[in-house]
């Protein structure tokens, strides 16, 4: 009998989401898999049920569409057996900002920002009521820097990072866990879909989706809120986060900085 509950994984039909589905099934969770591609979802569902003997339900949805996002939100909000939500679905729209069609930028915001926020908002009341549950949001290392071709993508992932860190502080005195996972270059379809092409990357910088997810889950088990699977020296993040907090404190004054020559 399953005592782990149900793990929901968005973007589950390939890449990182597919590996998360496998790993949570291996841990004994039943699954609710969400993605656009029905054929892939059905194939994965059969595979995981046969492999691990867990129950796997699927929900075909395009999370850039309001009606589909509402459908998924309602489904997960009403199911108190859900104990894990992995907000993995995302897209990378890259290139010079002025040359990217505005519809593509809107779709990226809808998927990377709006769907993560809406689905988190849907699941959290139940988690808080039960004082348990795990929310995993997939961000990116570009959440704290940007490239000339990644302005909007980086900004969308910065939202995921700061949103998750804020939730950590909100939920500090509860049994609800939150984690932001920040992949660097990972071997998934996103590179070819974005137009960059996986073959154009240095193979020494590209992590497999399997290693990425296994490291992320190890970080979750160790209690990390922010997990950077490819960063060996975690003190780099701690120093960065500490500097961020010092900067935040330094903003708290009514006086303009002296370099502007306004103080009298």
The conformation of residue 85, written as its DSSP 8-state character, comes to E
- Whether the CA torsion 90, 10, 165, 79 is positive or negative: it is positive
20 is catalytic: no
List of residues 6+ apart from 90 with CB closer than 8 A: 11, 111, 112, 138, 156, 190
Q: What is the largest CA-CA distance in the chain?
A: 75
3-state secondary structure of 15: helix
Q: Residue 52 has which token pair?
A: 């691990």
CA distance 154 to 106: 14
Per the residue annotation, which of 20, 29, 52, 153 is the catalytic one?
Answer: 153
Element spanning 74, H or E: helix 66-77
**Contact (Cβ atoms closer than 8 angstroms) between residue 116 and residue 137:** yes
CA distance 164 to 162: 5
3-state secondary structure of 30: strand
User: Rounded to the nearest 10 degrees, how much is the dihedral formed by the CA atoms of 45, 32, 26, 36?
Assistant: 50
Q: Residue 156 has which token pair?
A: 């969308």
Catalytically active residues, by annotation? 153
């Amino acid at each position: 009998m399953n005592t782990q509950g149900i793990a929901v994984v968005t973007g589950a039909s390939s890449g990182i989401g597919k590996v998360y589905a496998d790993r949570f099934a291996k841990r004994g969770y039943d699954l609710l898999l969400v993605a656009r591609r029905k054929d892939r979802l059905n194939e994965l569902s059969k595979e995981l049920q046969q492999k691990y003997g867990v129950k796997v339900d699927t929900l075909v949805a395009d999370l850039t569409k309001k009606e589909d996002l509402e459908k998924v939100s309602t489904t997960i909000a009403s199911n108190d057996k859900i104990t894990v939500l992995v907000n993995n679905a995302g897209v990378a729209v890259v290139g010079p900002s002025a040359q990217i069609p505005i519809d593509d930028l809107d779709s990226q915001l809808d998927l990377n920002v709006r769907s993560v926020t809406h689905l988190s908002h849907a699941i959290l009341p139940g988690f808080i009521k039960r004082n348990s549950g795990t929310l995993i949001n997939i961000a990116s290392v570009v959440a704290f820097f940007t490239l000339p071709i990644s302005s909007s993508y980086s900004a969308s992932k910065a939202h995921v990072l700061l949103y998750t860190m804020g939730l950590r502080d909100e939920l500090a005195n509860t049994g609800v866990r939150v984690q932001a996972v920040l992949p660097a270059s990972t071997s998934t379809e996103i590179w070819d879909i974005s137009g960059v092409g996986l073959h154009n990357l240095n193979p020494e910088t590209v992590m497999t989706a399997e290693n990425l997810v296994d490291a992320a889950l190890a970080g979750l088990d160790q209690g990390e809120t922010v997990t950077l699977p490819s960063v060996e020296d975690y003190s780099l993040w701690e120093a960065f986060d500490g500097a961020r907090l010092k900067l935040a404190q330094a903003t708290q004054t009514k006086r303009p900085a002296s370099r502007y020559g306004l103080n009298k």
